[in-house]
Structure 1
Amino acid sequence: MHVAGLAIDPMTEGEVVEHVVAALKRGEGGHLVTPNVDIGWAAAHDPEARQIIEGADLVVADGMPLVWAARLLGTPVPGRVAGSDLIWSLSEAATFYRYPIYLLGGPPGVARQAAGRLTDRHPGLVVAGVDAPPYGFETTQESCARVRDAVVAAAPRLVFVGLGFPKQDRLIAQLRKDLPATWFVGCGAAIAFAAGAVPRAPLWMQRTGLEWLFRLLNEPGRLARRYLLHDLPFALWLLTACLFRRLFS
């Protein structure tokens, strides 16, 4: 099914975990993208961003406006599948099957803190490594090589890459060449959420599509321009377009 021009896999969080585990058992890697409104806006304005999503192995809706848009089109998805939830459920599966994980992203120390909280909840989880590349690392070949070499040396089966879209997904495209049997999850702020470094919205705000407002109130300087000038108008346009299509098609 398609929402905002993106092919979305209509799966629950549990089905995503089952799909990834089944692929890992076969020795197959993959790339999981969880588009929200911000990623949808980027894909609508940047052909490269759209191409990245189209090349992913799994694409699930992380963002209630995308879920609502799918319902308006008469092709509903089971619900929202957030990267900030998948980091926990996939880590639980990785613990059971002894698949080593790797956390890549976040400010200094945050990935290590997230690893500690994940292992506290899932004793026995194997964390093959953590890394927090400095801002702008992708601009030099030497820095990119250091990040890539560290991941390859750790040989994880599941990598959470929280560098923001599309930077994280460009890096994933490179890493997949070296680790074809590894699954990569572009997870945005999920590592910071898992670490407790950034608070998550209350469940009622997550379920009613107001998580963006909670994050805006907590980080206005960083998020105001993106949310108010790009994401909110795009979400309103998307829902209006889907409603008109439903009514007049």
Structure 2
Amino acid sequence: MRVDATTYADATAQIVAWAQVGEARYVCASNVHMVMETSDSAEFRDVVNGADLVTPDGMPLVWALKALGTAQAERVYGPTLMLHVCEAAAREGVPIALYGGTPESLEAFAQFLRTEYPGIELACMIAPPFRPPTPEEDALYTQQIVDSEARIVFVGIGCPKQERWMAAHTGRLDAVLLGMGAAFDFHSGRVKQAPAAMQKLGLEWLFRLIMEPRRLWKRYAKHNPRFVGKFALQLLGQKVIDQGRTARKG
């Protein structure tokens, strides 16, 4: 799976530049969960690799990039990137839309945005059902976004649903679509974020597991050990290749 080494400033500038000219693009914020979903599904791997930007959302991916030789890699965390983009959108007059969550969580998040970024244009807010929408519902929601003329759409319906939704809709919307997971609930205060120290240590998964053990334990038990094992094999293979190249040059 592709992961791009970028920064908050560079990613924000690129997203806003695309949005200002109405380009159809989508952006994934990748963590261990997403990596392992792409490992398990070739179809989903194509979805993520088809994105215009894949940011290293989790610290394990930053460490992996550095271990593979990308020394300048740094974390570009989805919920924080969202704030950078909202700030730039308010400043540049780029209308945004929210897709996901519940009507209550969207309204709480909208109030947060209006307070933090006066003048931000919330062109459209849609809380789709938690079940898969019917074709008629999907067509209605898509048309609502089109009619709103939003140029940035934050999608918060969880991985891997949001990435598949973005890939399926990017050709139908003249907007930049960003998969944001639980960012709506984080910023509205409905769900607690891990303390900064735990995030820097790559322990955000542990904090979330403590907060929601019944929902998340199977995910972490399935994905985390496999990620460590598979990356260890990838790193070992890369070192063998590098040693071979060095020996041939010698």
User: Shared topology, TM-score over 0.5?
Assistant: yes
Q: CA RMSD in A?
A: 1.6
- Residue aligning to 2:135: 141
| Structure 1 SS opposite 2:237 | helix
- Residue aligning to 1:41: 36
Q: Is the 8 A contact 1:67 1:76 kept in 2?
A: no
With over 3 angstroms needed to count, the CA separation of the structure-2 counterparts of 1:74 and 1:173, relative to structure 1, is closer
TM-score w.r.t. the length of structure 2 is 0.90
| Structure 1 SS opposite 2:76 | coil
Q: Which string of whole-angstrom CA distances, capped at 9 and with x for unpartnered residues, describes residues 64-91 of structure 1?
A: 1111111111223531111111111100
- Residue aligning to 1:110: 105
Q: Say whether 1:216 aligns with 2:237.
A: no
1:137 CA displacement: 3.1
With over 3 angstroms needed to count, the CA separation of the structure-2 counterparts of 1:109 and 1:202, relative to structure 1, is same
Q: Is the 8 A contact 2:22 2:151 kept in 1?
A: no
Q: Is the 8 A contact 1:157 1:183 kept in 2?
A: yes
Q: Is the 8 A contact 1:68 1:239 kept in 2?
A: no
- Residue aligning to 1:197: 190
Q: Distance in 2 between matches of 1:188 and 1:75?
A: 26
| Structure 2 SS opposite 1:89 | helix
Q: Which amino acid aligns with 2:25?
A: G
- Residue aligning to 1:241: 233
Q: Say whether 1:184 aligns with 2:195.
A: no
| Structure 1 SS opposite 2:236 | helix
| Structure 2 SS opposite 1:34 | strand
Identity of aligned residues (%): 38
Count residues with an aligned counterpart. Answer: 241
1:119 CA displacement: 1.4
1:236 CA displacement: 1.6
| Structure 1 SS opposite 2:221 | helix
Instruction: Identify the range of structure 1 (114-123 vs 76-85) with the bigger mean alpha-carbon deviation.
Output: 76-85
Which consecutive aligned stretches of 4+ in structure 1 deviate over 3 angstroms post-superposition? 245-249
TM-score w.r.t. the length of structure 1 is 0.91
| Structure 2 SS opposite 1:87 | helix
Q: Which amino acid aligns with 2:171?
A: K
Q: Which string of whole-angstrom CA distances, capped at 9 and with x for unpartnered residues, describes residues 180-228 of structure 1?
A: 3x11001111111122111100111111100000000001111110012
Q: Is the 8 A contact 1:34 1:83 kept in 2?
A: yes
Q: Distance in 2 between matches of 1:104 and 1:98?
A: 20
Q: Is the 8 A contact 1:71 1:77 kept in 2?
A: yes
Which consecutive unaligned segments of at least 5 residues does structure 2 have?
Answer: 242-250
- Residue aligning to 2:246: none
- Residue aligning to 1:152: 146
Q: Distance in 2 between matches of 1:227 and 1:93?
A: 34
Q: Distance in 1 between matches of 2:188 and 2:132?
A: 22
- Residue aligning to 1:171: 165
With over 3 angstroms needed to count, the CA separation of the structure-2 counterparts of 1:137 and 1:242, relative to structure 1, is closer
